[in-house]
Structures are given as C-alpha cells and as structure tokens.
Structure 1
Amino acid sequence: MAGHIAAMAPATNIGAAHPVDASGGDISGDLGTKVVNDTVAAATKIALARGRNAQWAEDAVRNSVSIRDDQAVQMHVVDFQASDLADVLRKADGKTVQLPSGPVTLATAGLPTESDDPNPIEAFLHVIVDPQIAALMFTLGTWGLIFELGNPGLIFPGIIGVVAIVLALFSLGTLDANAAGLALLVFAVVLFALEVKVASHGMLTIGGVVALVLGFILLFPPWTPTLPGLRLSIDPLVIGAITLFTAAFFVLVIRAALAHRSLPVVVGTETLRGAVGVATSDLGPSGVVWVGGEEWSATSAGGPIAKGQPVRVRSVDSVRLIVEPADNLGKGRGTA
C-alpha cells in the first residue's frame, strides 16, 4: 500500500498484518497494545497519503483480515490487478500520482524493462541454500572425511569432505536451522570417525546413524514459525536414502577394517622376505645386491650368482640378506 502505484498478481491475497513476536506468538500486555496501536497509525497514515482504504488497513492490523486480489481492487486497497511487469506499465500509464513537488502523470506504456539476474556466485548460493541440498552435502562431506581417515594420504577425499561440510553448515546457518539438530549432526560425524579407529563391532556406526537421522529431523522442527506458504524441512525420502547409503558405506568400511586387522603384521627387514632384486656384484657366495630401493650385503644360498642376475630374498640374517637366483623360483611365486 505504500507505493504510489499498487498492483497485485492474480490469485494472490493481502492482509493479516497483526504484529507477533519472534516465535510467532501474540504480544501480550501493555507492550502488545503499544505495538498494535503504533502499527495501526503507520498503516493508516500510509493509506491516507496514497488515497487508499484506511479502515481496511486498520482492520488488517487489529483483526488480521485478509482479502483476495479482486477484493483489494474493489475496496480501493490497491489500484489494479496485473499479470506481469509489462501489464503493470500498461495499466499505470496515464495515472496521476502526488509527489512532494506536485502531481505527476505517468507515461509508462511501452517502456523498456531491465532484469537484474543473479551473478554466478549468487546463483550457486541460491542452489545450496536448500534443506535437501544441505543434507546431501553434509552426508557427502562425512563420507569424504571418513574415507580420508581410513586411507591417510589420499588428500582429495578429505578436501572434498571439508568443503562439503562447510558449505552444508553455511546453508543450514542461512536457513536458521535448530542448534540441537546441528549438534547431533556433528556428534554423528565424531562417532563415524571413531568407528574407523576403534573396534566397536558396529556400535559406533549404529549410534552415528541414529544421531544423523535425529539431527536431520530436528534441524527444522515442525513447531518453528515460518513465512506464510513456506515450510522448511528435509524430505523423509531424502533422510531414508541418506540413512540407507550411510549404513551400507560403513558396513563396507568395517568389513575392510576387520579384514586389514586380520592380516599378519610385517615390520622392519622382514618386509624384504620374498622381494626380488638384482645382483650389483658377483656373489661367490657373498656380494652386494639391490633390493627394495637400496643396496644390501648378501650371501647366495644357491651357488654363485653373476653380477646383473635377478635374485630373490630367501631370509634375512641381521643386516645381511640370504638370496637365491630368481630364475630358480617356480611360477606362482610373487614378486616385489
């Protein structure tokens, strides 16, 4: 109602302007009376200045009345209905508005219009500031971090994980997500990370999945007030899909970890047992060989070995390798 020209799109409504507090509840007591009266004064002042229905403006504040677009035109709340911007310019043409300098007659028919489209950064932020996208990014980031913890040195999964989680937290912060939900999501990440390092037989994964689901549910609780027609929530299908794939992901991680823990631990020079190298001097029977990226003193256990001949480590005696000609080994033996 404050504009010199007021138009409404078809199938829209206007009104219901009674003041409420930040949680959507009524403002009671003297403070409520003061806020209502002040809002009424502001609304009626604007309506009178623009020659519109001041009584309806007061009713919209005191009684939260709301009317359709066609009713708004009939009751002189707005000037006309318009289907788009070109229609607004066409219907506003020839109307006279009052400015501080005096009356002005508008000549708007056929005027060119310019659109201020979002730049690439704004468009990207608009895409990620969505409950579904935020949930998926948080899950993807969690997977990336856990994969990096389980395979240190890959780097790329860790980078992707951190970036995805930061973007998800930015999105949830912009959407004013519930702090309890965010805390549960962070707790879920901690439990998943511990699962990779601690033998819990899946208990940490179960706890992480439960915390993840509860966190997504509590991010946007149903009792949180929102703008009319706006409902922020994460689709149950998205939560279900995330839960299923996350559980499957960690079942695979746990199996791989258990299989790795069951392998025998080989350390020090024992890692050279069975490795293939080359003789860098004649072994008759002692000499020098190149194995595992460095030179070693070696003794041949299979007769003289000529320089340049491939050898395989049979055993390790302190800092000396016991080798044999690699040509003497049958098929099916591995190489290193």
Structure 2
Amino acid sequence: MKIHPLRRIASTRQAPASARRRSFSARCAATLIALAALVASPAVHAASTSAPHAGEVVAIPVSGAIGPASADFITRSLARAAADHAQLAVIELDTPGGLDTSMRQIIKAILGSPVPVAAFIAPGGARAASAGTYIVYACHIAAMAPGTNLGAATPIQIGAPGAGSPAPKPPDEHGKAASSPLATDTQSTETRKQIDDAAAYIRGLAQLRGRNAQWAERAVREAVSLSAGEALAENVVDLTARDLPDLLRKLDGRTVETSTGAHKLATERAPVVTLEPDWRSHVLAVVTDPNVALILLTIGMYGLFFEFANPGFVLPGVAGAICLLIGLFALQLLPISYTGLALIFLGIAFLIAEAFLPTFGTLGFGGIIAFAAGALMLIDTDAPGYGVPLPMIAAISAAGAVFVFFVSSFAYRARRRPVVTGGEALVGSQGEIIDAALAAGDDAGGQAIVGWARVHGERWRVRAAAPLAEGARVRVTARHGLTLDVEPAQEPPRGGASP
C-alpha cells in the first residue's frame, strides 16, 4: 500500500572502531549544541510546545463499481487509519454502484471506525449512484464537488419484473410520490421485500447522521438523483467543496461524533496521506471480474480434461487445477446463480464427453447450448460492471464449437479408417506358409490341414481346407484364439502389385 515516500534507514553494517568513536563524538557535540540553542532561545521553545501536532488526514480514492476488491481496500484502509491515529479519513468516491454485499461490508467498517470518515464525491463529473448513495449516507461527513451527483439507489436484481411495470406517477404538491411502481401488485413479493429492506436501511443511516431521510427513501423507491447544489439544499450532504484542500479548510474546527466519542478536527494544515490500492487489491479486482472468473473456470475444466486424457503431461493438470480453484474463489465472492453455474459445468462436461463418445457432435453442441445458457444466468445481479457481456459468451461458445467440430471430424475419419491393430486387423491380412511339413498333415479332428505361417511378422498356427506348400501366400479368413483360418491368396496378375 503506497503511503508516502519511504524513509531512509541507516545501514546496520559495522564500521571500524575509530570511525564509530568519531561518529559518537560528533553526535554528542551536536546534541550539546542543540540543547544550548534551546536554552538560549526560550521564545522558540515556547512556540514549539504551544502548537499541538495535527493528526494526518488519510485520503482513500475509490472509483469504479463497488465490489469485493473495493470493500477489501476500504476496510483495510480504515483499519490502517485507525492504527496510525489519523484524525480523518476521506473516501474520494466516484462509482456507478455495485454489489449489495460489498456495500454493506463497507458501511459496517465506516460505522465501526474510531476515525471520522468523510465521503467526498469528486472530482467534477463524478457520481455516487446506487451503492455509492448508501455509503455517502453512512459516512460521518458527506461532501460533494460541483458538477457531481448522487442518487438512483434502487436495488436491481436479474429476474425482477420491470418490463411490464407501469411508469411512475409524478409527485404531488408536497413532493411525495403519489404511487410508486415498485409497490404495485404487478411486481413480485420478493422484489417488494428487497425494496422495503433497502428503503429501511438507508432511512436508518439518514436518521443516524441527521440527514434527509425522506429523500433517501425516494432515492430507493423512485430512483431519483440530485446535483451537488440540490443535495446541499435538501440536507442530503453537509457541504460542497471544490477539491480536497478546500474540503479540509471547511472542515477545520468541526466536531464529529464517532463510535469512540467526539473528535474535533484540525484539518486546515494537516498532512494528507493518500492510500493507493496495493497488489492484493489489484489481484482481487482482476479475479472477481465475472469475465475473468468465467474464463478461469473454462481453462480449469479443459486443463483437467487434457491431463486425464494424457496422464503424465502434468502442465495441463497443474494449470487447470489452479485456474479452477481461483475461479471458484472468485465466484464465492460474487452473487451467482447456482443454476447457471451448474449449466456451465454440465456444458463443459458434455464438451469433454464428446471427445470420448461416438456421438458425432450431439453431446458437443448440447454442451455449447448449456454453457451459453449458464453464462447468461451466472451473475445474479444487474449491478453496473458485474454482468457477463454477450460478446464474451459468444467468443467462448465459438471456441467450444470449433473444438466440437475438430473432435467430431477426427472421430468420423477414424471410423471410416480400416482397422490396423488388434485381432480384427488380422482378418483379410496376408501371410506366408513357413512350415510345409506340418502344413501337409491333418489336425486331430481330421477336418483341416494344420500348419504354421508368418502373418504381420508374427508366427501363427494356421489351418486350411487343403494342403499348402511352403512359401505359399495365404489370406486370413478368421481367427479362433491362437489359430488362424487361411486360404490360398489370389496370385496378382503379371506386372501388377501384390494386394
């Protein structure tokens, strides 16, 4: 985590004894000179002890969709601010919304923070929509830069009816909604429960911070939004500021109540430390991207398939297991549909089975359909930034279709190819009699002439209906255990090739 330039640390290598003695003498002399200067200058000493040391201000920039990575970054940043005894933490917010679980994790960290937390929607053009509105209401101080907006906090869920819902009616003369479309009988009970829960949640946050609870509920039920000036007039935010230094000047001297008591801010000249996401936050942001999670699942399944199909190859198995586990870790942090996940696994299993069973594409194309349907259903939310786009699904499905095409074409060509190994390959093969003496006698039953012949470079016991001379060419007609039935091979015409 990037805090500030690292301080130089003195080397611990041992210096020669004479150098150490000179260094110690120099330090003693410097210390005596400094003490003499302090004693001789009481005015400077008085000034240095009368001005209290102002605690640092921690700036936490957050942009993009609120998700597991954002929640982890903000939670750890607030914990670090508390450990460093910072006097204020400022979340510089610019988000279109995000996941409900991550939002609630962030709000729990804010409500339990011993350090006052300010939400600052900045810079100009930024927004705090959906989940960002809840976070703003949860912070001890809410501020906005000119040209920003917040609101539209209605929770959206895939499958929630909305296409057939009537349009919202305009508010009455008192500013209240005449009738919310989300409370009509056309919508499901589950949707109404989600809306009522979200409205009660943000109303409780508004009452806790002394802000406009009525508008907060409208932001949930009617998805309304406000600009910076309107939010200040409606008591939705506490103040507006051009930038972070302007915000710190306006907060100087304000008293804020936190979980540990009242805190008086002295922020005008306080040092500002900006926390940037570290490697852990970046990795978490990458793997919890639904696109990356879906690709990791696919690579993991195919990797294990190639390892099982070619035991001992090692690399596909190792890479596949790692990708599969990371993909499953990402999915357990995301709001997924288990039906969609089951369809994805079923589709990949069908694609793998296509390589082993002679279905000539039936299982493969069924697997492609199952995979595409599961990918569409995988993420169980419509939050911005957390959907699997159709081009990604189409690309992976097309790759599966190419795989099925090649596997099916290989299987079809292999089926038409003559058998070249095993007992079936001997029938129709030609050989040469190598033992005429035995070939001239009858077997125990007196029904066949028994002898020995070389077929495919191997010595076989053979039997025929008539005696065969040594060196005669024969053709295998049947196999009975370790004995072959043969007949004289047709002589090729002169000048022709032997069959």
TM-score when scaled to structure 1? 0.62
Aligned to 1:67, the other structure's residue is in SS state strand
From 454, 457, 461, give the equivalent of 1:315. 457
Preserved contact between residue 44 and residue 57 of structure 1 (Cα < 8 Å): no
Deviates more, 1:245-254 or 1:232-241: 245-254
Q: Name the counterpart of 1:67.
A: 226
Q: 1-side partners of 2:201 and 2:344: how far apart?
A: 43
Q: 2-side partners of 1:168 and 1:17: how far apart?
A: 30
Q: 2-side partners of 1:41 and 1:243: how far apart?
A: 46
Q: Which runs of 5+ in 1 are unaligned?
A: 271-313, 319-336
Q: Which runs of 5+ in 2 are unaligned?
A: 1-136, 161-189, 427-455, 461-499
Identity of aligned residues (%): 33
Q: 2-side partners of 1:21 and 1:151: how far apart?
A: 43
Who wins on radius of gyration, i.e. which is larger?
2
1:42 CA displacement: 5.9
- Does residue 233 in structure 1 map to residue 384 in structure 2? no
Distance 1:107 1:178, change over 3 A: same
Q: Name the counterpart of 1:251.
A: 405
- Does residue 157 in structure 1 map to residue 316 in structure 2? yes
From 134, 149, 164, give the equivalent of 2:293. 134
Q: One-letter code of the match for 2:457?
A: S
Alignment of 1:1-336 (within 5 A): 1=137, 3-15=139-151, 25-27=191-193, 40=203, 43-47=206-210, 66-82=225-241, 84-92=243-251, 94-97=252-255, 99=257, 106-220=265-379, 225-227=381-383, 230=384, 232-257=386-411, 262=417, 264-265=420-421, 315-317=457-459
Distance 1:216 1:150, change over 3 A: same
Q: 2-side partners of 1:234 and 1:158: how far apart?
A: 26
Q: 1-side partners of 2:221 and 2:457: how far apart?
A: 94
1:127 CA displacement: 0.2
- 1:177-231 Cα distance to aligned partner (Å, 9 max, x none): 11111111111122122112211111111111111111111113xxx5545xx25
Preserved contact between residue 44 and residue 55 of structure 1 (Cα < 8 Å): no
Distance 1:317 1:85, change over 3 A: farther
1:160 CA displacement: 1.7
Question: RMSD value over aligned CA atoms?
Answer: 4.1
Aligned to 1:197, the other structure's residue is in SS state coil
- The number of residues matched between the two structures is 260
Distance 1:88 1:194, change over 3 A: same
Aligned to 2:192, the other structure's residue is in SS state coil
Q: 1-side partners of 2:340 and 2:391: how far apart?
A: 18
1:129 CA displacement: 0.8
1:170 CA displacement: 2.5
- 1:163-187 Cα distance to aligned partner (Å, 9 max, x none): 2223223223322111111111111
